[in-house]
Amino acid sequence: MEVAARFLGTRPRTRWEVERRLKRAGADDATVAATLGRLTKLGYLDDAAFARWWGEQRDRHGPRGARMIEAELRQHGVPRDVIESYRVEHQAPERRSEDASVPASEAERAADALARHLRGRPLPDDRKAVQRIGMYLMRRGFDSETVRTAIRQAGADAGDDVG
């Protein structure tokens, strides 16, 4: 329990991450199962809460597309059913954070990622540079239509005719 508590002290973790950490520390299967059960009962292990936290952190600090966030959740061992419920919850139109700085839609996240990438610079006029920016956003997990929309919007905001 002490190893798990220290591991959970830095940030929320998934059940899979804590289980892996306990096994690496040399705990036997019965101890691992008992510890995971107790932590779940106490509310310290909740994969759905982890998924919401992870998505919110991404929205706040490094906007990513839904595909990228879901891939990251899979890497952290979040089960498919939890990811599916997160997807449904995350895409709900009434989903709006109290904090206006957190983007609520995929388009807003793409625009935020583009703005962070440009760091106040205008959108380049060079077609190749715009394509590179588009590929950057696609590597961040945004689909091609969302990327095109974000680039067009950034071009319109700058008064350019990019697209």
Q: What is the 3-state secondary structure (H, E, C) of 23-68?
A: HHCCCCHHHHHHHHHHHHHHCCCCHHHHHHHHHHHHHHHCCCCHHH
Mean pLDDT for 21-35 is 96
**122 and 149 together in one domain:** yes
Q: What is the pLDDT of residues 1-21, one digit of tens each?
A: 999 999 999 999 999 999 999
In a domain, 19, yes or no: yes
CA dist 35 and 119 (Å) reads 46
- Do the beta carbons of residue 39 and residue 50 sit within 8 Å? no
Residue 98 in domain: no
Distance between CA atoms of 47 and 50, rounded to whole angstroms? 5
pLDDT score for 101: 64
Q: Please state the domain count of the chain.
A: 3
Residue with tokens 């595909």: 67
pLDDT digits 0-9 by tens, 124-154: 989 999 999 999 999 999 999 999 999 999 8
Domain boundary (90, 125, 148) is at 90
Same domain, 130 and 144: yes
Tell me: do 152 and 131 sit in the same domain: yes
Q: Which amino acid is at 19?
A: E
In a domain, 96, yes or no: no
On whether residue 38 sits in a domain, the answer given is yes
Work out the average pLDDT over 100-127: 86
Q: Which domain holds residue 66?
A: 47-90
Tell me if 48 sits within 8 A of 82, measured CB to CB.
yes
Give domain status of residue 32, yes or no. Answer: yes
